[in-house]
């Protein structure tokens, strides 16, 4: 799945790797509702995401949000590829997962994730993630050309 | 063929200086016997006595009587005559069944009475005896007249002429059959015992291997079960979250489409999803305690952990008016977040299950038999002793969820954490009299030392909530 949602004057590019449609929908809404001016690209499995990251012409993300537990290629492998790709060196990566296992958290931090969001049980939790994304993007200029 | 019995004169042995003192005596003894032996075959005791005409017949008689009372075969033989027997004591008959006449008449009978299996050895030992002149000490099997085997312990000595050449030998054969039989019996019993011990050992190791295999199977099936519980609870999380999030989106964005009853149902769905989520989360946590190959190499300062717990529970403590106090706590071999789970569960239970009085909770530790025994004591509603075991079971609750919320897994997790490191947990309580939860953590030598350090003392005042 390759969904590009454009909005006028989109400044930032956010890539989301998430196979749960409700989570995808909700996190996009939360980020928009937080007031982030951005364009989304979404993938539902690791293979598609990997192909995108490794494609020379792909548009580099300012922020990549990835679920660890996704079909085909694990989120951790995708994260590893991003960190090994110079074009994507400046992309911020936030892991978005249901796991609260301290071991999982430590592992993805080691792989180079900048942040770790536990999938919330309520909309307030999603709203917090939306504001965190806005705070972070406000502090930097977009790396990607539109 | 008969060997002529030439009797040596008693004279040559008198005053022999080349023999040792004992040998002189033996030689003298032998000489007196030879003097008593007739040239013709002996005809029993009487003739022996009749023909004795030595220089000292009394001595000869005395020695002869003495010799012939010995319950063994005493023998002498001239070497010059091809080893033929010159004398054999009458016990030859009681022991081997041959009369001495029979024995002496056939000069090579003795050789054929040696058990065939022992003859080869005798040949070697006898040759060595003749060549070296060293006494022969050996045990042979000898056949009786009726073919039984008698074990003979033989002692044979050489007597030499003054010129040094072998003259005759004398010796004694003692019937050690009973001893040998007993020895063999003992050996058999020993061998049998050995075999039985080996059989028992084999049986034991078989049983042991079987037990080991069963333990492995059990461990494997346990691990499978843990894996199942983990995966199941992990995979349950997503649909539950989806229900909860959908219900919230529905309530937020589409509430105008629902009447009062519809909104109530939506709220119930949401609450159920929340409850289910906490059950699944706790179940995950419970299985994780046993799954995790956690590092236990690092010591955790229990005092600092207690500080964190008090910070985490700050609002609960404030709202309930609780007073949580704490003695100086040691360092233990347990990951900090596990110790935090323990304290947090026990302290918050103490607050949750409070009586009408404001909650008072005290945490302490003591070193008992090489383990740290931690105690979390409260003044709450207490627990009837009949439930003291049950409360540590998974999802076991004694009270209504509405009055005391929770999933009922907290103490089960505590039990797992403690047992995972080889400790145990229990409660001392009576209904209405507060509860005292105790758990042990096996001690490390270093941890004990740390408690006495001023380092630990410095932490103490920061916690004093009293």
- Going from the C-alpha of B58 to that of each of B12, B32, B152, B178, B285, the distances in angstroms are 20, 10, 31, 36, 109
User: What is the structure's pLDDT at A139?
Assistant: 84
Mean pLDDT, residues B325-352 taken together: 90
- Whether the pLDDT of residue B373 is over 70: the answer is yes
Query: Which chain B residue is nearest to residue A104, measuring alpha carbons?
Result: B292
Question: Closest Cα of chain B to A43: distance in Å?
Answer: 18
Q: Does A135 touch chain B (CB under 8 A)?
A: no
* Mean pLDDT along residues B73-85: 69
Q: Give tens-digit pLDDT for A47-94.
A: 999 999 988 888 899 999 999 888 888 888 899 889 889 998 889 999
Candidates B244, B288, B337; nearest CB to A122:
B244
Q: Give residue B29's pLDDT.
A: 39
Query: Picking from B72-76, B96-100, B280-284, B438-442, which range would have the lowest pLDDT averaged per residue?
Result: B280-284
- CA–CA dist A18, A48 (Å, integer): 11
pLDDT at B50: 33
Residue B375 parent element (H or E): strand B371-378
For residue B195, give Cα distances in angstroms to B183, B187, B201, B369. Answer: 18, 12, 10, 43
Which residue among A22, A99, A123 sits closest to B242, beta carbon to beta carbon? Answer: A22
- Minimal Cα–Cα distance from A74 to chain B, Å? 16
Tell me how far apart the alpha carbons of residues A70 and A47 are, in angstroms, rounded to a whole number.
10
- The tokens 């030879």 sit on which residue? B34
B341 contacts in A (CB within 8 Å)? none
Is beta strand B331-332 parallel, antiparallel or unpaired with respect to B323-326?
Answer: unpaired
Mean pLDDT confidence for A104-132: 91
Sign for the CA dihedral angle at B404, B406, B412, B418 comes to negative
8 A C-beta contact, residue B311 and residue B342:
no
Range of lowest pLDDT (A69-83, B41-55, B287-301)? B41-55
pLDDT band at B52 (very low <50, low <70, confident <90, very high): very low
- pLDDT band of A30, cuts 50, 70, 90: very high
- Quickly count: other Cβ atoms within 10 Å of residue A5's Cβ: 13
Contact between A130 and A33 (Cβ < 8 Å) = yes
Nearest to A121 among B234, B274, B292 (CB): B274
Per-residue confidence (pLDDT) for residue B19, from 0 to 100: 36
Question: For the ranges B26-40, B73-87, B336-350, which has the lowest average pLDDT?
Answer: B26-40
Give the pLDDT confidence score for residue B77 in this predicted structure.
79
Cross-strand bridge partners of residue A5: A40
pLDDT at position A127 is 95
Whether residue B43 is predicted with pLDDT greater than 80 in this model: the reply is no
Please give the pLDDT value at position B143. 93
First CA to last CA distance, chain B: 121
Tell me which long-range contacts A109-113 makes (C-beta under 8 A, separation of at least 24). A111/A76, A111/A79, A111/A80, A111/A83, A112/A79, A112/A80, A112/A82, A112/A83, A113/A79
User: Based on the number of CB atoms within 10 Å of its own CB, is B163 exposed (0-12), middle (13-18) or buried (19 or more)?
Assistant: exposed
Of B238, B281, B288, the CB nearest to A20: B238
Lookup: tokens for B69: 């009372």
CA angle in degrees (0–180, nearest 5) for B195-B196-B202: 90
Range in A70-74, B78-82, B419-423, B449-453 the model is least confident about: B449-453
Interface test with A, best of B230, B232, B241 (most A CBs within 10 A): B241
Which positions 4-63 of A are in contact with B (Cβ < 8 Å)? 20, 22-23, 26
pLDDT computed for residue B291 by the predictor? 66
Q: Which residues of A117-136 are buried (b: 16+ CB within 10 A; e: fewer)?
A: bebbbbbebbbebbebbbeb
Phi, psi (5° rounding) for residue B401? Answer: -60, -30
Q: Kindly tell me if the per-residue pLDDT of B410 is higher than 90.
A: no
Q: Is residue A9 predicted with pLDDT exceeding 60?
A: no
Average pLDDT along chain B: 78
Give CA torsion, residues A116, A122, A123, A128, to 10 deg: -30
| Across B117-136, average pLDDT | 88
Considering only the beta carbons, identify the residue of A22, A101, A119 that sits closest to B288.
A101
Using the predicted structure, report yes or no on whether residue A97 has a pLDDT greater than 60: yes
pLDDT for residue B240 is more than 80: yes
- CA gap A12, B234 in Å, rounded: 33
CB B349 within 8 A of CB B410: yes
A97 Cβ under 8 Å from any chain B Cβ = no
Cβ neighbour number for residue B281 with a 10 Å cutoff: 19
Q: Check whether B37 has a pLDDT greater than 50.
A: no
A122 chain-B contacts, CB cut-off 8 A? 244-245, 248
pLDDT of res. A132: 94
Average pLDDT, integer, range B409-419: 89
For B55, phi then psi, to 5°, come to: -65, -30
Model confidence at B127: pLDDT above 80: yes
HEC string for chain A: CCEEECCCCCCEEEEEECCCHHHHHHHHHHHHHCCCCEEEEEECCHHHHHHHHHCCCCCCCCEEEECCCCCCCCHHHHHHHHHCCHHHCCCEEEEEECCCCHHHHHHHHHCCCCEEEECCCCHHHHHHHHHHHHHHHHCCCCCCCC
CA dihedral B214, B218, B221, B224 (to 10 degrees): -130
Region B281-290: what's the mean pLDDT?
Answer: 80
d(CA B310, CA B66): 104
The band of B81, judged by pLDDT with boundaries at 50, 70 and 90, is low
Q: Which sign does the torsion angle of CA B103, B108, B109, B113 carry? A: positive
Q: Which residue of A has its CA nearest to B250?
A: A123
pLDDT-derived band at B461 (thresholds 50, 70, 90) equals very low
pLDDT confidence of residue B279? 85
pLDDT band at B166 (very low <50, low <70, confident <90, very high): confident
Confidence class for position B454, pLDDT limits 50, 70, 90: very low
Quick one: DSSP state of residue B162? Answer: T
Confidence bin at A36 (pLDDT 50/70/90): very high
Q: Determine what percent of chain B falls in helix, strand and coil, rounding each to the nearest 5.
A: 55, 15, 30
**What band does B355 get if pLDDT is binned at 50, 70 and 90?**
confident
């Amino acid at each position: 799945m390759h969904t590009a949602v454009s909005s006028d004057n989109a400044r930032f590019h956010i890539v989301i790797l998430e196979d749960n449609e409700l989570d995808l929908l909700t996190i996009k809404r939360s980020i928009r509702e937080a007031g982030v001016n951005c364009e989304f690209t979404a993938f539902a499995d690791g293979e598609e995401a990997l192909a995108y990251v490794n494609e020379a012409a792909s548009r580099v993300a300012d922020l990549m949000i990835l679920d660890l537990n996704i079909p085909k290629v694990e989120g951790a492998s995708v994260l590893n590829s991003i960190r090994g790709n110079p074009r994507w060196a400046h992309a911020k990566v936030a892991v978005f997962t249901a796991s609260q296992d301290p071991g999982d958290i430590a592992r993805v931090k080691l792989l180079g994730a900048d942040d770790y969001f536990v999938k919330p049980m309520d909309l307030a939790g999603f709203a917090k993630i939306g504001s965190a994304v806005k705070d972070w993007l406000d502090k930097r200029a977009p790396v990607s050309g539109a | 063929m008969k060997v002529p019995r030439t009797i040596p004169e008693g004279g040559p042995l008198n005053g022999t200086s080349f023999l040792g003192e004992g040998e002189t005596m033996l030689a003298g003894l032998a000489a007196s016997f030879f003097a008593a032996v007739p040239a013709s075959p002996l005809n029993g005791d009487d003739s022996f006595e009749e023909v004795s005409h030595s220089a000292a017949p009394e001595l000869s008689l005395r020695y002869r009587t003495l010799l012939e009372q010995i319950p063994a075969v005493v023998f002498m033989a001239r070497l010059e005559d091809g080893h033929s027997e010159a004398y054999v004591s009458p016990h030859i008959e009681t022991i081997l069944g041959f009369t001495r006449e029979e024995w002496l008449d056939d000069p090579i009978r003795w050789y054929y009475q040696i058990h065939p299996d022992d003859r080869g050895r005798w040949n070697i030992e006898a040759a060595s005896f003749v060549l070296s002149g060293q006494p022969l000490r050996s045990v042979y099997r000898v056949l009786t007249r009726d073919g039984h085997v008698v074990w003979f312990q033989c002692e044979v000595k050489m007597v030499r002429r003054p010129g040094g050449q072998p003259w005759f030998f004398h010796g004694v054969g003692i019937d050690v059959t009973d001893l040998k039989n007993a020895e063999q019996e003992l050996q058999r019993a020993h061998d049998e015992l050995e075999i039985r011990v080996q059989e028992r050992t084999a049986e034991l190791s078989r049983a042991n291997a079987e037990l080991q295999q069963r333990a492995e199977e059990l461990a494997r099936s346990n691990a499978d079960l843990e894996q199942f519980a983990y995966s199941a609870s992990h995979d349950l999380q997503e649909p539950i979250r989806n229900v909860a999030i959908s219900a919230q989106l529905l309530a937020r964005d589409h509430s105008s489409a629902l009447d009062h009853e519809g909104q109530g149902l939506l709220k119930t769905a949401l609450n159920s999803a929340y409850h289910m989520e906490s059950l699944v989360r706790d179940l995950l946590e419970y299985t994780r305690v046993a799954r995790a190959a956690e590092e236990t190499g690092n010591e955790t300062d229990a005092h600092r952990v207690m500080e964190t717990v008090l910070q985490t529970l700050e609002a609960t403590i404030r709202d309930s008016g609780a007073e949580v106090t704490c003695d100086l706590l040691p360092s233990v071999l347990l990951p900090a977040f596990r110790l935090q789970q323990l304290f947090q569960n026990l302290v918050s239970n103490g607050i949750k299950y409070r009586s009408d009085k404001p909650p008072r909770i005290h945490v302490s530790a003591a070193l008992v038999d090489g383990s740290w025994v931690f105690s979390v004591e409260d003044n709450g509603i207490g627990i009837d002793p009949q439930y003291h075991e049950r409360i540590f079971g998974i999802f076991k609750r004694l009270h209504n969820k509405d009055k005391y919320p929770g999933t009922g897994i907290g103490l089960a997790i505590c039990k797992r954490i403690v047992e995972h490191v080889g400790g145990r947990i229990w409660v001392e309580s009576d209904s209405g009299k507060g509860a005292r939860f105790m758990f042990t953590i096996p001690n490390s030598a270093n941890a004990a030392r740390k408690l006495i350090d001023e380092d630990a003392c410095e932490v103490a005042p920061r916690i004093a909530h009293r």
